[in-house]
Copies of this chain bind each other. A is one copy, B any other.
Amino acid sequence: MLDVLGKGTITTPRGFLAGAAYAGIKVAGEGKLDLGLLSSEAPCAAAGVFTTNRLQAAPVLLDRERLDRGRARAIVVNSGCANAATGAQGYRDAQEMTSWAAKKLGLAPEEVLAASTGVIGQPLPMDKIKTALKDIALSHDGGHALARAIMTTDTFPKEAALAVDGFTIGGIAKGSGMIHPNMATLLCFLATDAAVELPFLRRALRRAVDVSFNMITIDGDTSPNDSVLLLANGLAGNRPIAGGREGRAFQEALDTVCFSLARAIARDGEGATRRIEVRVEGAASTAQARVAARTIAGSSLVKTAAYGADPNWGRILAAAGRSGAFLDSDRAELYLGEVCVFRKGVGNAFDREVARAALEGKEVYIRLNLNLGRSCATAWGCDLTPEYVAINSEYMT
């Protein structure tokens, strides 16, 4: 039995503390936060999933190394500057940032992970970070402040937590455009008080990311900074989870928290007026279901049609057709909301106004049954609007 916690965040699980401050890295400062810290009262098993972009930000390079041994106890994060495409100096800056955080927390630098999000190609303002880091006050309800400190073009913070069978998982995320005007990107931090064996923790995080964050698409771009980090401090006192029934319960809870955060990101897509949920069923394999769902959700033509509430279903079929998934048009069936618009190789007679109404809400549901097998997948996206273009064509300063 899963209980979604109404006001849950990353500090909801036992033994996690967080805090944030304004260092002056982001431009307009009033009331904004741009530097944050997460810390655990006990050592943690730790796992990370990172961007597949060949251009990797300095904190990503650092975290990959530090997570080799699967242990960490804190995360220091800034917004407003990505510390990407910053060369050797960028790497030293990321190291130094974690050293300062470690000193403040009484930890070894290797126990601290780093994350950055913001403008690419500019050095971190290290003096500002050093000063502001001292001001951060950590607390057991500091997760909300941390969630705000990682926002860039996000219009609201993304937080979730779930209590299940004696342990709790909480998380925060940022991301609105996958990459925002200034190369901000997806960051997600997850914390749990469950005791979890490292190999299982790594597999569980990979799986949860695959079915959630890897199924959202805002504009098809990925960034050098995309990072999902998970810390498990074991303070729930359970027998360490390594699989089996407890493993399934943990996976389900982790998936649910990640789903919740991913859907919030899709809803907050830059300039978006509607969220699009694409369900592909009856695919020959899960990989094919996933690629078809993602391609439909990411198609510029599907996204603009959704903006115009235009039941132009040919674009959806064409996107599925180019996705790489097998598609037999004589078998496929396509639905907009509850309205069947295509089946048995031809368009199905439908009431345009009813189909249009299915596209006019805040949530648009597209369902494609390929009728070829038993695999299915769901992807989330948002419509493409003139506002997206306006946000992303602004000068980078």
Contact = CB atoms under 8 A, between A and B. Distances in A.
A342 interface: yes
B304 A393 contact: yes
A317 B312 CA distance: 34
Interface string A234-245: 000000000000
Contacts of A122: 347
A346 interface: yes
A90 to B, nearest CB: 8
Contact of A310 (B88, B299, B396): B396
Interface string A320-357: 11100111011000000000001011110000000000
A120 B54 contact: no
Nearest to A392: B304
A175 to B, nearest CB: 14
B301 A179 contact: yes
B222 A396 contact: no
Contact of A85 (B182, B346, B390): B346
Contacts of A388: 304, 389
B87 A322 contact: no
Contact of A301 (B82, B86, B177, B308): B177
B221 A329 contact: no
A136 to B, nearest CB: 28
Interface in A219-266: 219-224
A301 to B, nearest CB: 5
A325 to B, nearest CB: 7
A182 B219 CA distance: 22
Given A221-B299, A314-B121, A54 B321 contact: yes
A157 interface: no
A304 to B, nearest CB: 4
A371 interface: no
A347 B326 CA distance: 43
A200 interface: no
Interface in A41-83: 52-56, 82
A33 interface: no
B223 A318 contact: yes
A119 interface: yes
A27 to B, nearest CB: 15
A386 interface: yes
B219 A314 contact: no
A394 interface: yes
29 contacts: A53-B322, A55-B321, A85-B329, A85-B342, A85-B346, A87-B329, A88-B345, A119-B314, A120-B317, A120-B318, A121-B313, A121-B314, A177-B301, A179-B301, A179-B318, A182-B312, A183-B315, A221-B299, A221-B315, A221-B318, A221-B319, A221-B322, A224-B317, A307-B393, A308-B393, A310-B395, A384-B389, A385-B389, A386-B390
Given A85-B347, A87-B346, A120-B318, 16 more contacts: A54-B320, A54-B321, A55-B317, A85-B345, A120-B315, A120-B317, A121-B313, A121-B347, A122-B347, A221-B300, A221-B315, A221-B318, A304-B389, A311-B396, A312-B396, A389-B389
Which 5 pairs between the two chains have the least Cβ-Cβ distance?
A120-B314, A308-B393, A55-B321, A87-B345, A304-B392
